[in-house]
Amino acid sequence: MTESTPAPTHTPSDQQVVERLVPAWLAEAAEHAPRAADHAEQAWREGRLSADAARELADWATARVTDTAFNEDEGPVREGHTRVTVADKEAVHRWLRARGHDI
């Protein structure tokens, strides 16, 4: 590798982050709004999301950030197995904006 060639990074693509997080978002949404979650899941399988679903996903990713500079006593603490970093949230927002959603 030459000096002008950047070293490869091992960060997941925005698409990979979204593919990891959407199932968790849909599962949580199904607990609170089953009908809306069904519509969002169908749209996701078809490769699209409505403006409302995109906003919900963006808000969910923002609210679920679990890897922060806070310690356990300061929070936030989230239940569940899905870890959402600030970088993951930003990846979700970039992915949605790249598809024309106003986030």
Nearest-angstrom CA–CA distance, 26 and 34: 9
What backbone phi and psi angles, to 5 degrees, belong to 73? -70, -25
- Average pLDDT of span 6-17: 73
Structure confidence by residue, pLDDT tens digits, 79-92: 556 889 999 999 99
Query: What does the DSSP assignment read for 7-67?
Result: PP--PPPHHHHHHHHHHHHHHHHHHH-HHHHHHHHHHHHTT---HHHHHHHHHHHHHT--B
Structure confidence by residue, pLDDT tens digits, 26-65: 999 999 999 999 999 999 999 999 999 999 999 999 998 8
